[in-house]
Chains A and B, each alone.
Chain A
């Protein structure tokens, strides 16, 4: 029977508060070496198509949210469907040490995100007198974004354990690894920060710390 995988946590998470999952399927879990893996059995994989994708993604998120409320998780990307329960167990066994290390390191940690975006794009190539000027403007914009990101990093450094950032087409995304107990402090500090008027900023979180477990 196909299985939809939600996430992995350290063992000991209660299922009582976990809502039903995607397409109303019951959420179950099995434990591996110190780990707990959450999944739903699907009558058939096509079940995922029986409702709008957005609704399915939200149901998936609600399961993650409840487990994450109880502890650190490593989510599976939606929709990760494997052919049966044994395949998921095999995956957990093969990667148990990596998951254990990551979850131990991220225990009690959450990921906060600051997204800084330009309110207006850099002038198009047609809007400037030369390619050189266009590139120069792009370089200046990138530098301004870096400066703004650094400002947030410094503002929150009391609570930030690790920091990642990467450029996007419209701006820059910054990720802060913060202890659960200090997420509110971080948000309030970030929201009190000022940035140049050409940029907009938004804080979101807490999220599972996926940006900090890339190369486990």
Chain B
């Protein structure tokens, strides 16, 4: 048995995980296409991944997407 790693600071990865994978998805109006998918793909790879995840998990009647897991 060992003590916990004991680091409770919020890391950059934690932040990215939470802002990209947690929160309300406005169904049908994630207007990422406003900027054009190709353009976003070039500039925002991480975001494209997240949006695809969000779209895949969108469920009718649920304001928040389902379980999102990066790990």
**What is the interface of chain A, defined by CB distance below 8 A to chain B?**
2, 5, 7-8, 44-46, 48-50, 53-54, 56-58, 60-61, 64, 74-83, 87, 91, 95, 98, 113, 115, 117, 166, 168-171, 173, 187, 190-197, 200-205, 207-208, 210-211, 213-216
Contacts and interface: CB of A to CB of B under 8 A. Distances in A.
Nearest to B16: A57
B12 A54 contact: yes
Given A5-B26, A57-B15, A77-B20, A200 B32 contact: no
Nearest to A102: B63
B23 A201 contact: no
A204 to B, nearest CB: 5
B24 A77 contact: yes
Nearest to A46: B35
Nearest to A167: B69
Bin the interface of chain B by size: 35 or more
B1 to A, nearest CB: 5
Contacts of B23: 7, 74-78, 80, 208, 210
B43 A205 contact: no
Contacts of A49: 35, 39-40, 42-44
B21 A58 contact: no
B35 A56 contact: no
Given A49-B43, A194-B4, A80 B24 contact: yes
